[in-house]
Amino acid sequence: MRFGILGTADIARESVIPGIRKSDHEAAAVASRDHERAERFAEECDITEAYGSYEALFDADIDAVYNPLPNALHAEWSERAADAGLHVLCEKPLTTTADRTVDLFDHCADAGVTLMEAFMYQFHPRTERTREVAVEELGDVRSVDATFTFRLPGPPDIRLDADLGGGALFDVGSYAVSAARGFLGEPDRAYAHFADTRDSGVDTDVAGLLEYDDGRTARVAAGFDTAHVERYRVEAVDGFLEARDCFAPGEREVAMRYEVDGRRVEETFDAVDQYEREVEGFAAAAESGSPPRVDRAETLGNVRTLDALRESAAEGVPVDVA
């Protein structure tokens, strides 16, 4: 599969293009609204074709696009790629509302192309194993704590721009929500408190509570103001499970540990490139026409919870998850 890259985002340069290169696929073209920028990026990444507009990329000899544009631009340019008959691997969050996400999935289905939200951590073997352990080893799971925080340098930064869909919830909070849902399923209600510590017009610190009618809970935390932390911990009636550096561990050996009735186990996982695995999973789904691992239901479940957290923070009351 030949990929075209929409824009010159760092995540494309540093993570996704190297992942494409390690797979059986090719980063064949890149586009930017600034032709010189596209050419510089292409030279740095050893890409043969560079275009000075996003529209021009769609006429290139490619099969799919990778879309790492700012959040507020995901839907529009993913739809345009679909209209050109191109499969779409789009960064999270796929869009900034559940309604817009439904529209985008419908649009891509009508165009006959595969659409996948790029939640790369879902392709790491440890993520797969922790969910397996929660089901097969732990007893009744009662709660989850999931956190993703880091110190974001001051503006300018698109993550601090409300018009571009910035904010900590969309950027790193979406991972915490995804992790909690991966263990507990879809919540019934959400409550959240947001803080804007930069006077930027977006949330820079997020504390959320997901509630389930049977009494289970998940606490999610995300932010741009404190030390880099990536972790989740699952509490069950007979033990626990926890993993650190769980969303972007890099290519190194990682571990997870759990305890059941006093028996402690630590499992380690060889270094992998989860971006490579993401690309391979997406391409296999596109080529076969089967749903990708991060499918419509998974993406909609996450964005509906994000919607409820945002509404709760604005209104100051718990909000039902649609």
* Radius of gyration of the chain measured on its C-alpha atoms: 20
At residue 155, the pLDDT reads 81
At residue 322, the pLDDT reads 86
At residue 160, the pLDDT reads 97
Mean pLDDT of the chain: 98
Token output for 41: 């990026």
Q: Is 143 helix (H, G, I), strand (E, B) or coil?
A: strand
DSSP 194-248: EE-TTSSSS-SEEEEEEE-TTS-EEEEEEESSS--EEEEEEEETTEEEEEES-S-
Cα(297)–Cα(215) distance, integer angstroms: 24
Write the pLDDT tens digit of every residue in 234-275: 999 999 999 999 999 999 999 999 999 999 999 999 999 999
At residue 163, the pLDDT reads 97
Q: What is the pTM of this model?
A: 0.97
Sign for the CA dihedral angle at 127, 133, 134, 135 comes to: positive
At residue 169, the pLDDT reads 98
Is 218 within 8 Å of 146 (Cβ atoms)? yes
Is 211 within 8 Å of 190 (Cβ atoms)? yes
Cα(322)–Cα(307) distance, integer angstroms: 9
Residues 6+ apart with CB under 8 A from 218: 143, 144, 145, 146, 180, 181, 183, 184, 187, 209, 210
- Active site members: 92
Splitting the chain (322 residues) into consecutive groups of 10 residues, what average pLDDT does each group show?
Answer: 98 98 97 98 98 98 98 98 98 98 98 98 98 98 98 91 97 98 98 97 98 98 98 98 97 98 98 98 98 98 98 98 92
Write the pLDDT tens digit of every residue in 186-245: 999 999 999 999 999 999 999 999 999 999 999 999 999 999 999 999 999 999 999 999
Q: Which of 314, 95, 304 is nearest to 192 (CA)?
A: 314
Cα(251)–Cα(253) distance, integer angstroms: 7
Is 175 within 8 Å of 148 (Cβ atoms)? yes
Is 56 within 8 Å of 31 (Cβ atoms)? yes
Q: Which domains are delineated in the chain? A: 2-118 (3.40.50.720), 124-320 (3.30.360.10)
